[in-house]
Amino acid sequence: MTAHKTVSLLFGVHAHQPVGNFPEVVDDAYQRCYKPFLKILHRYPEFRFAVHFSGWLLDYLFDKYPQDMALLTEMVQRGQVEMFGGGDTEPVLAVIPNRDRIGQIVMLSDKLEACMGERPQGAWLTERVWEATVVPALSDAKIEYVTVDDYHFLCSGKRVEELNGYFTTEEDGRKLDLFPISEALRYRMPFSPAHDVVSYLESLARSDIQASAVYFDDIEKFGIWPETYQWVYEKGWLEDFIRGVLASPKITTQTYRDYHAAEKTRGIVYLPTTSYIEMNEWTLPTAAAHTYADLVKTEKAGGHYEGRKAFLRGGIWKNFFTRYPESNWMHKRMLGLSERLHNLPEKKHMPAMLDQLYIAQANDAYWHGLFGGLYLPHLRRSVYGAIVKLEAMLDHVSPREKFTCMDADSDGVDEIFLHNKSLQAVVKLDGSASLCELDAYPLAHNFGDTLSRQSEHYFRKIESSHASRQHEGSGIASAHDRVAFKHEISALDMVAAEHAQTLFRDFILLEGKTTGLVYELVEADAEGILFRAELDGGGVLKRIALKANRLVVSYSLSGVSPGNMLTRIALAMPSCDGFAGRYIQAGKILGGFGSVLELDDGNGLILDDSVLGGHLALDTNHLVQLHGAPYFTVSQSEAGFEKIMQAVMLTLQWPFQKGEMEITMAVDQGNVVV
């Protein structure tokens, strides 16, 4: 008797919002995606599936929408839904210490057990970033299986037709099972018509073994991506898909847990370090990304791509730390604080310290691809807010030296850390004598949190098209295939910066020519840092010091020809070009941070920011010319290309003179009443 051909659909969705995202964005995602998705699935208890929520998002939704989230709990308790675990703040496990991997996973598992009554057996691997080094932590945290892309398996030499069920890997004596997510399903759901997806699933049915169709991808595709709300809910894609699956005699739905318990492993496998295909392109430097994209295009045109794509591998996730110095700096600051925290005597540990460390490990602000990520100031601000809060806590229970010098980010250049209870100034000894970080501890904010313009691979799309690409065929276009513009973007907007955007980067203006100053360190201690720049016939002495809540930068010039000196100060202000940030002088509002400011012969300016909950007062002991302007970068997102304000760029200019120029920046809590 011939066995009936069937396929087990292992359907899973991953819900995540970046830590630090705007509440209104999370609420919109809930109303347009999470809520309608759960309500529809609740009506079909026989449709079994898996769900992963990052820990902080789960907390947020249970706190704000308890009645609706009770539906999810009910589905778990009736066996319809399997909850997946993972890192609580959704870190990329491969780039945090092993002790923090275990801690993050256990924290979310504890939370799920408390909320849902079940401890997870499976885990979502952030951005499917795979390194074998994560296996011991997952195993030690009692995770039995994870999902990764089928592409990961192809890169190990497997063929698509071999990828059925799950496989087993091991590292350092620990085992972990791996389910291969189908790329074919990822690109079909929910973009192809429901009946086409059902037909494809039926084509996978086999009679010799219990075939599996593994899908696990972002739930945001079901309502938040462009056009998807209308397609999935208003036009009924999701219900059509569910009904089609349940009506098919060839398809059964199972949770991963049930399939894993009923079926045996398909064998041992060892996967290379990789992520999904698109990520491997995004992580490449621009020139290499161009080469990679051209090679892929050539292979596709020749009809060879599908058979060779596993050997056309791009970069690895950690390349983001080499591509973006700002990402690397955040990451190494986080690692340093993790070490400090875990080296504390147990009696000095506080739960709040671990909370802040885990927030600083959230993945979103460390990378950039189709989604804004690193380019979004509010996501970086969340990471730095946690870093600054944690550092203040650690300093309180285990004070460090007021002055230290080290190569904190392993780039071959030392940094000087100068701090007191209110402020911390970090100066990179790269010849610029400028600040790469300025922390205000009471405000938990880094005023040096700025991203520099650099060349990006996707600029080629901007240069070649200024109109949305029309989708051909049935269904709707995936965000990966769209070319759209949220803002008008010019060629000047895409010119890469010559250097990092820092605070107090100095230049001289002689005979109409601007030249950057190159400094050498003269001396440094807890009282301040002294630099000297040599000029023809003379030089510039520059001193950086902290006095309570004030950063004081002073300049002394000697033996130089008549001319002007200028310094540029890139300030990360949380309101960016929104309505909450404003320039104030002598009790008068001069404009917002998104406007251009020109002041002649001024010596005082306040930057007030209600998002920050504080203000910064700039004063000089001599009159200066002051120019203020927004500093933008060009980013891509699922909604299109956009310009994002990264900083307020202040330029102060004054003529050479005998007296010392002193510039003071005082940081205070509270906003200015005008």
Q: Which residues are catalytic?
A: 127, 218
Q: Which long-range contacts (CB under 8 A, 24 or more apart) does 394-402 make?
A: 394/337, 394/340, 394/341, 394/344, 394/353, 395/419, 397/344, 397/348, 397/350, 398/340, 398/344, 398/348, 401/526, 402/526
Q: Dihedral angle at the C-alpha atoms of 259, 263, 266, 268, nearest 10 degrees?
A: 90
Taking phi over 0 as left and psi of -120 to 50 as alpha, with beta for the rest, 242 belongs to: alpha
DSSP secondary structure string, 380-401? HHHHHHHHHHHHHHHHHHS---
Distance CA 79, CA 643 (A): 46
Work out the burial of residue 151: count CB atoms within 10 Å of its CB; fewer than 13 is exposed, 13-18 middle, 19 or more buried.
buried
Cα–Cα distance, 674 to 589 (Å, whole number): 8
H helices of 414-557, in order, are 459-464
The values of phi and psi at residue 610, to 5°, are: -75, -25
- With H, G, I as helix, E, B as strand and everything else as coil, classify residue 469: coil
The tokens for 334 are 């986080």
Query: Under DSSP, is residue 288 helix (H, G, I), strand (E, B) or coil?
Result: helix
The rounded radius of gyration (Å) of the Cα atoms in the chain is 27
- The neighbouring-strand residues paired with 571 are 648
Please give the Cα distance from 366 to 403 (Å, whole number): 28
Do residues 409 and 403 make contact, with C-beta atoms less than 8 angstroms apart? no
- Alpha-carbon distance of 665 to 674, in angstroms, equals 20
| C-alpha–C-alpha distance, residues 88 and 35, integer Å | 21
Burial of 541 from C-beta contacts in 10 A (0-12 / 13-18 / 19+): middle
Asked if residues 213 and 8 have their Cβ atoms less than 8 Å apart, the reply is yes
Smallest CA-to-CA distance from 59 within 122, 114, 104 is with 114
**Hey, CA dihedral for 565, 571, 575, 580, is it positive or negative?**
negative
Q: Please name which of 636, 642, 638, 637 lies closest in space to residue 227, comparing C-alpha atoms.
A: 638
Distance CA 440, CA 469 (A): 45
Task: Name the one residue in this structure whose structure tokens are 């190569």.
Answer: 407
* Helices within 204-324 (DSSP H only): 228-229, 237-247, 256-262, 277-282, 286-301, 305-308, 319-323
Tell me how far apart the alpha carbons of residues 321 and 512 are, in angstroms, rounded to a whole number: 38
259, two tokens: 């399939």
State which amino acid sits at residue 580: A
Backbone angles phi, psi at 72, to 5 degrees: -65, -45
The DSSP H or E segment spanning 58 is: helix 55-64
